[in-house]
C-alpha cells in the first residue's frame, strides 16, 4: 500500500484495500479494492437442445467498496459469467455452500447420515 494517500481520501483505507488510488481522480471511480484472487475452474456450457460441454475458466474474486460508501461488495467474475453480492450476502452464500458441499461429499463417499 502506498504511504501517501491522495488528496481526496480523508480517511485511511481498510486493511484489505490494496491502496492503489492513482487512477481514481473522478469521484465515481473512487473505491477501495482488494487484490484479485484468481481461481482456475471448469464451467458447464449448454446450448439448449444442441450440446453440452465443459470449458476452462479463470474466476477472479475481488472485494470493493466505494470511498465513504456503506456497502462492501464481493465480485466473482469469469469470461462467461459474473456475480456481485454484498459482503453479508457473500458470507451467507459461503456458509450455505459449505453445508451443501459437505452433505454432497458425504453422500458421494457413501457416508450419508
Mean pLDDT over residues 85-112, rounded? 91
Residue 22 CB contacts under 8 Å (≥ 6 apart), including other chains: 6
pTM strictly above 0.85: no
Q: What is the pLDDT of residues 62-79, one digit of tens each?
A: 999 999 899 999 999 998
Q: Judge contact between 65 and 72, C-beta under 8 A.
A: yes
Residue 51's SS3 state is strand
CA dihedral angle for residue 92, residue 95, residue 96, residue 99, rounded to 10 degrees: -170
18: left (phi over 0), alpha (psi -120 to 50) or beta: alpha
- % residues pLDDT > 90 (the chain): 52
Q: What is the pLDDT of residues 3-36, one digit of tens each?
A: 577 788 878 889 999 878 877 878 788 899 999 9
Count CB neighbours of 17 within 10 A. 19
Q: What is the pLDDT of residues 46-57, one digit of tens each?
A: 887 788 889 899
Largest CA distance in the chain: 60
Amino acid at each position: 500500500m502506498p504511504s501517501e494517500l491522495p488528496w481526496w481520501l480523508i480517511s485511511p483505507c481498510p486493511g484489505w484495500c490494496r491502496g492503489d488510488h492513482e487512477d481514481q481522480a473522478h469521484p465515481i471511480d473512487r473505491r477501495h479494492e482488494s487484490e484479485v484472487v484468481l481461481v482456475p475452474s471448469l464451467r458447464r456450457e449448454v446450448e439448449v437442445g444442441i450440446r453440452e460441454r465443459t470449458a476452462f475458466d479463470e474466476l477472479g474474486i475481488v472485494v470493493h467498496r466505494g470511498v465513504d460508501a456503506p456497502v462492501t461488495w464481493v465480485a466473482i467474475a469469469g469470461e462467461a459469467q459474473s456475480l456481485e453480492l454484498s459482503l453479508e450476502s457473500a458470507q451467507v452464500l459461503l456458509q450455505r455452500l459449505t453445508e451443501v458441499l459437505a452433505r454432497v461429499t458425504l453422500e458421494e463417499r457413501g457416508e450419508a447420515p
